[in-house]
A and B are shown apart, each in its own frame.
Chain A
Amino acid sequence: MRLGVLFSGGKDSTLALHLAAEKEEVACLITVVSKNKESYMFHTPNIDVTVLQAEALGLPLVSVVTEGKKEEELADLEKAIIDAKSKFQIDGVVTGAVESVYQASRIQRICNKLDVWSFNPLWKYDQNALLETLVEKSFKVIISGVFAYPLDEKWLGKQIDASVIARLVDLQSQYGISPSGEGGEIETTVLEAPLYKKRIEILNSAVDWRGNCGVFLIKQARLVLK
Protein backbone atom coordinates (compact mmCIF):
# COMPACT_ATOMS: atom_id res chain seq x y z
CA MET A 1 0.00 0.00 0.00
CA ARG A 2 1.34 3.45 -0.95
CA LEU A 3 0.79 6.10 1.70
CA GLY A 4 0.97 9.86 2.11
CA VAL A 5 1.84 11.11 5.59
CA LEU A 6 0.20 14.30 6.87
CA PHE A 7 3.37 15.99 7.99
CA SER A 8 3.91 19.03 10.19
CA GLY A 9 7.56 18.29 10.96
CA GLY A 10 6.75 17.80 14.66
CA LYS A 11 7.27 14.69 16.77
CA ASP A 12 3.86 13.05 16.27
CA SER A 13 3.71 13.16 12.49
CA THR A 14 7.37 12.14 12.26
CA LEU A 15 6.91 9.16 14.59
CA ALA A 16 3.73 8.19 12.70
CA LEU A 17 5.77 8.31 9.49
CA HIS A 18 8.38 5.95 10.98
CA LEU A 19 5.72 3.47 12.15
CA ALA A 20 4.03 3.59 8.75
CA ALA A 21 7.32 3.00 6.94
CA GLU A 22 7.86 -0.19 9.00
CA LYS A 23 4.66 -1.70 7.54
CA GLU A 24 3.89 -0.04 4.19
CA GLU A 25 5.48 2.16 1.53
CA VAL A 26 5.52 5.89 2.29
CA ALA A 27 5.24 7.63 -1.09
CA CYS A 28 5.06 11.29 -0.07
CA LEU A 29 4.57 13.83 2.69
CA ILE A 30 1.53 16.12 2.72
CA THR A 31 1.82 19.48 4.48
CA VAL A 32 -0.84 22.09 5.07
CA VAL A 33 0.66 25.49 5.79
CA SER A 34 -1.94 27.48 7.72
CA LYS A 35 -1.69 31.26 7.92
CA ASN A 36 -4.06 31.20 10.88
CA LYS A 37 -2.14 30.96 14.14
CA GLU A 38 -5.30 29.82 15.93
CA SER A 39 -5.90 26.85 13.62
CA TYR A 40 -6.80 23.72 15.65
CA MET A 41 -5.93 21.51 12.74
CA PHE A 42 -2.71 22.68 11.18
CA HIS A 43 -0.87 25.56 12.78
CA THR A 44 2.63 24.78 13.96
CA PRO A 45 5.79 26.87 14.28
CA ASN A 46 8.53 26.23 11.73
CA ILE A 47 6.18 24.66 9.19
CA ASP A 48 8.54 26.01 6.51
CA VAL A 49 11.23 23.64 7.80
CA THR A 50 9.17 20.75 6.36
CA VAL A 51 10.89 21.46 3.02
CA LEU A 52 14.28 20.61 4.58
CA GLN A 53 12.81 17.69 6.54
CA ALA A 54 11.35 16.19 3.35
CA GLU A 55 14.75 16.54 1.70
CA ALA A 56 16.38 14.89 4.72
CA LEU A 57 13.91 12.01 4.41
CA GLY A 58 14.31 11.78 0.64
CA LEU A 59 10.54 12.04 0.18
CA PRO A 60 8.53 14.33 -2.10
CA LEU A 61 6.46 16.98 -0.34
CA VAL A 62 2.95 17.94 -1.41
CA SER A 63 2.34 21.31 0.18
CA VAL A 64 -0.73 23.52 0.23
CA VAL A 65 -1.14 26.97 1.79
CA THR A 66 -4.44 27.72 3.53
CA GLU A 67 -5.85 30.93 4.98
CA GLY A 68 -6.85 28.71 7.91
CA LYS A 69 -10.56 29.49 8.07
CA LYS A 70 -12.31 26.67 9.88
CA GLU A 71 -13.91 24.65 7.08
CA GLU A 72 -11.85 26.11 4.22
CA GLU A 73 -8.66 24.60 5.62
CA LEU A 74 -10.29 21.19 5.41
CA ALA A 75 -11.15 21.84 1.77
CA ASP A 76 -7.50 22.79 1.25
CA LEU A 77 -6.37 19.55 2.93
CA GLU A 78 -8.73 17.68 0.63
CA LYS A 79 -7.11 19.36 -2.38
CA ALA A 80 -3.67 18.35 -1.12
CA ILE A 81 -4.74 14.70 -0.71
CA ILE A 82 -6.28 14.73 -4.20
CA ASP A 83 -2.98 16.14 -5.49
CA ALA A 84 -0.98 13.44 -3.64
CA LYS A 85 -3.32 10.76 -4.96
CA SER A 86 -2.88 11.91 -8.52
CA LYS A 87 0.90 12.53 -8.39
CA PHE A 88 2.00 9.65 -6.18
CA GLN A 89 -0.86 7.13 -6.48
CA ILE A 90 -1.38 6.94 -2.73
CA ASP A 91 -3.92 4.44 -1.39
CA GLY A 92 -4.04 5.93 2.08
CA VAL A 93 -3.18 8.76 4.43
CA VAL A 94 -1.31 8.53 7.74
CA THR A 95 -1.83 11.03 10.56
CA GLY A 96 -0.10 11.64 13.87
CA ALA A 97 -3.40 11.91 15.77
CA VAL A 98 -3.07 10.63 19.34
CA GLU A 99 -6.16 11.68 21.28
CA SER A 100 -7.96 14.28 19.22
CA VAL A 101 -11.26 12.90 17.99
CA TYR A 102 -11.83 16.38 16.49
CA GLN A 103 -8.82 16.08 14.17
CA ALA A 104 -9.08 12.36 13.48
CA SER A 105 -12.79 12.49 12.56
CA ARG A 106 -12.32 15.33 10.13
CA ILE A 107 -9.50 13.56 8.34
CA GLN A 108 -11.44 10.27 8.35
CA ARG A 109 -14.35 12.04 6.61
CA ILE A 110 -12.10 13.49 3.91
CA CYS A 111 -10.42 10.11 3.33
CA ASN A 112 -13.80 8.41 3.13
CA LYS A 113 -14.97 10.96 0.58
CA LEU A 114 -11.82 10.46 -1.51
CA ASP A 115 -11.94 6.67 -1.11
CA VAL A 116 -8.50 6.39 0.52
CA TRP A 117 -7.51 4.59 3.72
CA SER A 118 -6.84 6.57 6.87
CA PHE A 119 -4.32 5.33 9.43
CA ASN A 120 -3.56 6.71 12.89
CA PRO A 121 -0.67 4.59 14.21
CA LEU A 122 -0.26 6.71 17.37
CA TRP A 123 -3.97 6.54 18.29
CA LYS A 124 -4.38 6.40 22.10
CA TYR A 125 -0.60 5.97 22.49
CA ASP A 126 0.44 6.60 26.08
CA GLN A 127 1.84 10.13 26.19
CA ASN A 128 4.86 9.41 28.35
CA ALA A 129 5.65 6.25 26.36
CA LEU A 130 5.48 8.32 23.18
CA LEU A 131 8.15 10.73 24.46
CA GLU A 132 10.29 7.87 25.73
CA THR A 133 10.03 6.10 22.35
CA LEU A 134 11.37 9.21 20.61
CA VAL A 135 14.40 9.31 22.92
CA GLU A 136 15.00 5.53 22.67
CA LYS A 137 14.90 5.70 18.87
CA SER A 138 17.32 8.66 18.83
CA PHE A 139 14.95 11.28 17.43
CA LYS A 140 16.34 14.76 17.98
CA VAL A 141 13.25 16.79 18.84
CA ILE A 142 13.27 20.38 20.06
CA ILE A 143 10.48 22.30 21.73
CA SER A 144 9.52 24.99 19.25
CA GLY A 145 6.46 26.41 20.95
CA VAL A 146 5.03 26.62 24.48
CA PHE A 147 1.47 27.70 25.10
CA ALA A 148 0.59 26.88 28.72
CA TYR A 149 1.57 28.01 32.20
CA PRO A 150 4.03 27.30 33.80
CA LEU A 151 6.01 26.60 30.64
CA ASP A 152 8.15 29.68 29.96
CA GLU A 153 10.66 30.83 27.38
CA LYS A 154 13.44 28.76 28.97
CA TRP A 155 11.78 25.68 27.46
CA LEU A 156 12.03 26.99 23.91
CA GLY A 157 14.70 25.29 21.80
CA LYS A 158 15.29 22.57 24.41
CA GLN A 159 15.90 19.07 23.09
CA ILE A 160 13.54 16.42 24.47
CA ASP A 161 15.62 13.99 26.51
CA ALA A 162 15.09 11.93 29.66
CA SER A 163 15.46 14.90 32.01
CA VAL A 164 13.06 17.09 29.99
CA ILE A 165 10.50 14.23 29.99
CA ALA A 166 10.88 13.87 33.78
CA ARG A 167 10.23 17.61 34.23
CA LEU A 168 7.21 17.55 31.92
CA VAL A 169 5.74 14.57 33.78
CA ASP A 170 6.31 16.44 37.02
CA LEU A 171 4.41 19.44 35.62
CA GLN A 172 1.64 17.10 34.57
CA SER A 173 1.07 16.05 38.16
CA GLN A 174 1.30 19.65 39.45
CA TYR A 175 -0.56 21.57 36.74
CA GLY A 176 -2.34 18.96 34.66
CA ILE A 177 -0.53 19.80 31.45
CA SER A 178 -0.14 17.05 28.88
CA PRO A 179 3.55 16.05 28.80
CA SER A 180 3.40 15.37 25.07
CA GLY A 181 1.50 18.59 24.36
CA GLU A 182 -1.68 16.82 23.36
CA GLY A 183 -3.71 19.75 24.62
CA GLY A 184 -1.67 22.18 22.51
CA GLU A 185 0.68 23.04 25.39
CA ILE A 186 3.82 22.28 23.37
CA GLU A 187 4.83 22.25 19.72
CA THR A 188 7.94 20.49 18.50
CA THR A 189 10.28 20.32 15.51
CA VAL A 190 12.24 17.19 14.58
CA LEU A 191 15.84 17.89 13.57
CA GLU A 192 16.99 14.29 13.24
CA ALA A 193 15.28 10.90 13.04
CA PRO A 194 16.22 7.33 12.09
CA LEU A 195 14.87 7.73 8.54
CA TYR A 196 16.57 11.07 7.99
CA LYS A 197 19.50 10.63 5.60
CA LYS A 198 20.91 13.95 6.82
CA ARG A 199 20.29 15.99 9.95
CA ILE A 200 19.08 19.57 10.23
CA GLU A 201 21.51 22.11 11.64
CA ILE A 202 20.06 25.38 12.85
CA LEU A 203 22.16 28.36 11.74
CA ASN A 204 19.98 31.21 12.96
CA SER A 205 17.02 31.24 15.32
CA ALA A 206 14.98 33.62 17.43
CA VAL A 207 12.65 33.39 20.36
CA ASP A 208 9.36 35.23 19.96
CA TRP A 209 7.87 35.48 23.49
CA ARG A 210 4.50 37.15 23.99
CA GLY A 211 3.53 37.35 27.65
CA ASN A 212 2.54 33.80 28.44
CA CYS A 213 3.40 31.87 25.30
CA GLY A 214 6.01 31.87 22.59
CA VAL A 215 7.76 30.14 19.76
CA PHE A 216 11.29 29.20 18.81
CA LEU A 217 11.63 30.27 15.19
CA ILE A 218 14.16 28.59 12.95
CA LYS A 219 15.21 31.42 10.64
CA GLN A 220 17.99 29.65 8.80
CA ALA A 221 18.96 25.99 8.71
CA ARG A 222 20.77 23.52 6.49
CA LEU A 223 21.18 19.79 6.02
CA VAL A 224 24.46 18.23 7.14
CA LEU A 225 25.78 14.68 7.12
CA LYS A 226 24.78 12.59 10.14
Chain B
Amino acid sequence: MILIVDMNWKRNSLAFNEFVSPIVSVIQPLEEYKVKHFLDIEPSELNGYSKILLSGTALKDHATLKQVDKFGWVKMCDKPILGICAGMQTISLVFNESLVNCLQIGMTEIKTLEENPLIQGDFKAYTLHNYSVEATKTFEVLAKSAKCIQAIKHKQKNIYGVLFHPEVRNQDILKKFIQLNQ
Protein backbone atom coordinates (compact mmCIF):
# COMPACT_ATOMS: atom_id res chain seq x y z
CA MET B 1 0.00 0.00 0.00
CA ILE B 2 1.44 3.35 -1.11
CA LEU B 3 0.73 6.50 0.89
CA ILE B 4 0.31 9.64 -1.22
CA VAL B 5 0.57 12.74 0.95
CA ASP B 6 -1.48 15.74 -0.22
CA MET B 7 0.84 18.69 0.50
CA ASN B 8 -1.64 21.41 -0.52
CA TRP B 9 -2.40 24.21 1.92
CA LYS B 10 -5.73 22.78 3.01
CA ARG B 11 -7.73 19.58 2.82
CA ASN B 12 -9.84 19.11 -0.33
CA SER B 13 -8.27 22.15 -1.98
CA LEU B 14 -8.76 23.31 -5.56
CA ALA B 15 -5.12 22.35 -6.20
CA PHE B 16 -5.78 18.66 -5.40
CA ASN B 17 -6.69 17.82 -9.01
CA GLU B 18 -3.52 19.45 -10.27
CA PHE B 19 -0.92 18.09 -7.86
CA VAL B 20 -2.35 14.89 -6.33
CA SER B 21 -4.70 13.39 -8.94
CA PRO B 22 -1.98 13.06 -11.63
CA ILE B 23 0.15 11.06 -9.15
CA VAL B 24 -2.86 8.88 -8.35
CA SER B 25 -3.36 8.24 -12.08
CA VAL B 26 0.16 6.81 -12.35
CA ILE B 27 0.03 4.75 -9.13
CA GLN B 28 -3.51 3.39 -9.43
CA PRO B 29 -2.80 0.73 -12.08
CA LEU B 30 0.32 -0.46 -10.23
CA GLU B 31 -0.42 -0.60 -6.51
CA GLU B 32 -3.03 -0.04 -3.88
CA TYR B 33 -2.79 3.43 -2.46
CA LYS B 34 -4.26 5.81 0.06
CA VAL B 35 -4.24 9.62 -0.10
CA LYS B 36 -3.97 11.60 3.14
CA HIS B 37 -3.54 15.30 3.74
CA PHE B 38 -0.30 16.21 5.50
CA LEU B 39 -2.23 17.47 8.53
CA ASP B 40 -3.82 14.03 8.96
CA ILE B 41 -0.69 11.85 9.01
CA GLU B 42 -0.46 9.68 12.12
CA PRO B 43 3.15 8.47 12.56
CA SER B 44 1.86 5.27 14.19
CA GLU B 45 0.05 4.34 10.92
CA LEU B 46 3.11 4.56 8.69
CA ASN B 47 4.09 0.91 9.15
CA GLY B 48 1.02 0.02 7.12
CA TYR B 49 2.54 1.51 3.96
CA SER B 50 5.34 0.21 1.77
CA LYS B 51 6.34 3.59 0.30
CA ILE B 52 5.42 7.22 0.73
CA LEU B 53 5.05 9.95 -1.94
CA LEU B 54 4.78 13.64 -1.05
CA SER B 55 3.01 15.74 -3.71
CA GLY B 56 3.92 19.17 -5.01
CA THR B 57 1.81 22.29 -4.52
CA ALA B 58 0.81 25.50 -6.28
CA LEU B 59 3.61 28.02 -6.76
CA LYS B 60 2.20 30.37 -4.11
CA ASP B 61 1.53 27.62 -1.60
CA HIS B 62 4.21 27.57 1.11
CA ALA B 63 2.08 25.95 3.82
CA THR B 64 4.27 22.88 4.40
CA LEU B 65 7.45 24.99 4.45
CA LYS B 66 5.96 26.92 7.38
CA GLN B 67 4.80 23.75 9.18
CA VAL B 68 7.88 21.55 9.02
CA ASP B 69 7.09 20.42 12.57
CA LYS B 70 4.23 18.35 11.06
CA PHE B 71 6.82 16.21 9.23
CA GLY B 72 8.87 14.89 12.15
CA TRP B 73 7.78 11.41 11.03
CA VAL B 74 10.00 11.68 7.92
CA LYS B 75 13.10 11.31 10.14
CA MET B 76 11.73 8.27 12.00
CA CYS B 77 10.29 6.47 8.98
CA ASP B 78 12.25 3.56 7.50
CA LYS B 79 10.13 3.30 4.32
CA PRO B 80 11.25 4.71 0.95
CA ILE B 81 10.02 8.28 0.56
CA LEU B 82 9.89 10.44 -2.57
CA GLY B 83 9.14 14.14 -2.22
CA ILE B 84 8.06 16.05 -5.33
CA CYS B 85 8.74 19.81 -5.51
CA ALA B 86 7.29 21.18 -2.23
CA GLY B 87 7.71 17.59 -1.00
CA MET B 88 11.47 17.75 -1.69
CA GLN B 89 11.74 21.24 -0.20
CA THR B 90 9.91 20.14 2.96
CA ILE B 91 12.05 16.98 3.35
CA SER B 92 15.16 19.16 3.07
CA LEU B 93 13.93 21.46 5.82
CA VAL B 94 13.14 18.45 8.04
CA PHE B 95 16.85 17.58 7.88
CA ASN B 96 17.84 21.19 8.62
CA GLU B 97 18.99 21.99 5.10
CA SER B 98 18.42 25.46 3.65
CA LEU B 99 16.35 26.56 0.67
CA VAL B 100 17.59 28.97 -1.97
CA ASN B 101 15.55 31.14 -4.31
CA CYS B 102 15.28 29.50 -7.71
CA LEU B 103 12.28 30.29 -9.89
CA GLN B 104 11.69 27.88 -12.77
CA ILE B 105 8.44 27.43 -14.70
CA GLY B 106 8.04 25.15 -17.70
CA MET B 107 10.08 22.49 -19.47
CA THR B 108 13.65 22.47 -18.19
CA GLU B 109 16.81 20.52 -19.10
CA ILE B 110 17.93 18.24 -16.29
CA LYS B 111 21.34 16.60 -16.09
CA THR B 112 21.85 13.49 -13.96
CA LEU B 113 25.08 13.65 -11.95
CA GLU B 114 25.05 10.47 -9.87
CA GLU B 115 23.96 6.97 -10.83
CA ASN B 116 20.72 6.10 -9.04
CA PRO B 117 17.66 3.87 -9.49
CA LEU B 118 15.19 6.63 -10.42
CA ILE B 119 16.67 8.94 -13.03
CA GLN B 120 19.27 8.59 -15.75
CA GLY B 121 21.02 10.75 -18.32
CA ASP B 122 19.92 14.15 -19.57
CA PHE B 123 16.22 14.79 -20.00
CA LYS B 124 13.55 17.50 -20.04
CA ALA B 125 11.11 17.85 -17.18
CA TYR B 126 8.26 20.14 -16.14
CA THR B 127 9.28 22.52 -13.38
CA LEU B 128 7.18 24.85 -11.23
CA HIS B 129 9.08 26.08 -8.19
CA ASN B 130 10.28 29.16 -6.33
CA TYR B 131 12.97 27.41 -4.28
CA SER B 132 15.60 24.74 -4.53
CA VAL B 133 17.90 23.36 -1.85
CA GLU B 134 21.40 24.57 -1.10
CA ALA B 135 24.36 22.20 -1.50
CA THR B 136 23.67 19.73 1.26
CA LYS B 137 25.36 17.77 4.02
CA THR B 138 22.67 15.15 4.50
CA PHE B 139 21.79 14.49 0.87
CA GLU B 140 23.74 13.63 -2.23
CA VAL B 141 22.87 15.63 -5.34
CA LEU B 142 21.53 13.32 -8.07
CA ALA B 143 20.64 15.88 -10.73
CA LYS B 144 20.78 19.57 -11.57
CA SER B 145 19.33 22.05 -14.04
CA ALA B 146 21.37 25.02 -15.26
CA LYS B 147 20.03 27.02 -12.32
CA CYS B 148 19.73 24.68 -9.35
CA ILE B 149 19.67 21.24 -7.71
CA GLN B 150 16.82 19.16 -9.13
CA ALA B 151 17.10 15.77 -7.40
CA ILE B 152 18.56 14.54 -4.13
CA LYS B 153 18.90 11.34 -2.09
CA HIS B 154 19.55 11.00 1.61
CA LYS B 155 23.08 9.64 2.14
CA GLN B 156 21.94 6.83 4.45
CA LYS B 157 18.19 6.43 3.90
CA ASN B 158 15.90 5.64 0.97
CA ILE B 159 14.61 9.20 0.95
CA TYR B 160 14.52 10.92 -2.44
CA GLY B 161 13.48 14.35 -3.63
CA VAL B 162 12.82 15.68 -7.12
CA LEU B 163 12.14 19.35 -7.67
CA PHE B 164 10.57 18.85 -11.10
CA HIS B 165 7.16 17.19 -11.57
CA PRO B 166 7.56 13.60 -12.80
CA GLU B 167 3.79 13.11 -12.80
CA VAL B 168 3.55 15.57 -15.72
CA ARG B 169 6.17 14.45 -18.27
CA ASN B 170 8.40 11.79 -16.63
CA GLN B 171 5.99 9.29 -15.17
CA ASP B 172 8.50 6.43 -15.42
CA ILE B 173 10.29 7.94 -12.43
CA LEU B 174 7.22 7.34 -10.28
CA LYS B 175 6.92 3.79 -11.62
CA LYS B 176 10.59 3.13 -10.79
CA PHE B 177 10.05 4.47 -7.29
CA ILE B 178 7.10 2.11 -6.81
CA GLN B 179 9.30 -0.79 -7.96
CA LEU B 180 12.25 0.12 -5.68
CA ASN B 181 13.40 -2.62 -3.35
CA GLN B 182 13.31 -1.45 0.23
Whether the pair A19, B59 counts as a contact (CB closer than 8 A) is no
Whether the pair B103, A101 counts as a contact (CB closer than 8 A) is no
B18 within 8 A of partner (CB): yes
Whether the pair B17, A19 counts as a contact (CB closer than 8 A) is yes
Tell me which of A23, A116, A124 contacts B167 (CB under 8 A).
Answer: A124
Whether the pair B60, A117 counts as a contact (CB closer than 8 A) is yes
Identify which of A72-80, A104-112, A155-163, A177-185 touches chain B: A104-112
Q: Which residue of A lies closest to B126 (CB)?
A: A101
Whether the pair B58, A119 counts as a contact (CB closer than 8 A) is yes
Name the interface size band of chain A: 20 to 34
Whether the pair A19, B128 counts as a contact (CB closer than 8 A) is no
Whether the pair B105, A105 counts as a contact (CB closer than 8 A) is yes
Whether the pair A124, B25 counts as a contact (CB closer than 8 A) is yes
| Contact A122:B17 (CB < 8 A) given known A101-B169, A117-B58 | yes
B17-46 to A contact mask, C-beta < 8 Å, 1/0: 110011001000000000000000000000
A1-24 to B contact mask, C-beta < 8 Å, 1/0: 100000000000000000110011
A31 within 8 A of partner (CB): no
A189 within 8 A of partner (CB): no
Whether the pair A119, B128 counts as a contact (CB closer than 8 A) is no
Chain A contact residues: over half helix, strand or loop, or mixed?
Answer: mixed
B116 within 8 A of partner (CB): no
Which residues of chain B come closer than 8 Å to A94, judged between CB atoms? 14
| Contact A23:B14 (CB < 8 A) given known A109-B105, A119-B58 | yes
Whether the pair A126, B25 counts as a contact (CB closer than 8 A) is yes
Which residues of chain A come closer than 8 Å to B168, judged between CB atoms? 101, 124
Contact surface of B with A, Cβ cutoff 8 Å: 12-15, 17-18, 21-22, 25, 58-61, 103, 105-107, 126, 128, 167-169
Beyond A23-B13, A118-B60, A119-B18, 16 extra complex contacts between A and B, CB < 8 Å: A1-B14, A19-B17, A23-B12, A92-B60, A94-B14, A101-B107, A108-B128, A109-B105, A109-B106, A112-B60, A116-B60, A119-B14, A119-B15, A120-B17, A122-B17, A124-B25
A/B interface sample: 14 pairs, CB < 8 A: A1-B14, A19-B14, A23-B12, A23-B14, A24-B14, A101-B107, A111-B59, A112-B105, A117-B59, A117-B61, A118-B60, A123-B18, A125-B21, A126-B25
Contact surface of A with B, Cβ cutoff 8 Å: 1, 19-20, 23-24, 92, 94, 101, 105, 108-109, 111-112, 115-126
